[in-house]
Amino acid sequence: MKWQCLQLLAIRHAGCTLETHVQVSPGYEQGTFTSWSGELSETPEEMVIYVGERQDGQYHGQGKMTWPNGKVHDGSWANGKKSGQGTMTWPDGNVFSGGWQNGKKHGQGKLVFANGVVYDGSWVNSGLHGQGKMNSVNGDVYIGSWQDGKRLGQGKLFYGNGVVYDGSWVNNEQHGQGKKTWPNGNVYSGDWQHNKRAG
């Protein structure tokens, strides 16, 4: 298939591109672009299909990219990369809707995992970073600060069984000053180390 492509289609960037498009203005096009190369392909032989806008030979504007494995990104592009608002759907059922920058999740966004876990909040370079809320399958809900994908700083965890922890976190652990309240009315406020009371 790739040999036929190289014989019949235009070669671009060491790969090949099949285009069905309309030139709207100099350097700006709209249409369907099918390629076997470039940073959007997972392997040299992989075909990706992009339907949308392009400028100066790069995906730019609104467009939808579909990979052979079923992964789809529908949203804004800039200079050949996902940038701006967009929705990515993975074959396993995970769905992210929100901001992108230079091909990475960035800004505010919501990731819904197929297993029911939901994160809604801030992202930096595709990592959970800043303020965000995570709903877990077991009923736990965490609202607070994240850094490099981990709970770090101040945050509040509502356990599914009614217990509430409000305080400091380090590397996903209750660590530092915090307050925990139990459904029976018991309260501990003080120092925590590695998820255990230190006082």
Q: How far apart are CA 78 and CA 103, in angstroms?
A: 9
The reply to whether 107 falls in a domain is no
Same-domain status, 129 and 87: no
Q: Which domain holds residue 199?
A: 115-199
- How big is the chain by its Cα radius of gyration, in Å? 23
User: Percent of the chain beyond pLDDT 90?
Assistant: 70
106 within domain boundaries: no
* Same domain (yes/no): 1, 88: yes
**Is the pLDDT confidence value at 45 over 70?**
no
The CATH number that applies at residue 169 is 2.20.110.10
Which pLDDT band holds residue 43 (cuts at 50, 70, 90)? very low
How far is Cα 84 from Cα 52, in angstroms, rounded to an integer?
15
92 and 2: one domain? yes
Q: Is residue 30 part of a domain?
A: yes
pLDDT in tens, 136-149: 999 999 999 999 99
Residues facing residue 147 across a β-bridge: 150
Residue 6 inside a domain? The answer is yes
Task: Let me know whether 78 and 145 are in one domain.
Answer: no
**Residue 28 reports pLDDT greater than 70:** no
What digits encode the pLDDT tens for the residues 90-134? Answer: 999 999 999 999 999 999 999 999 999 999 999 999 999 999 999
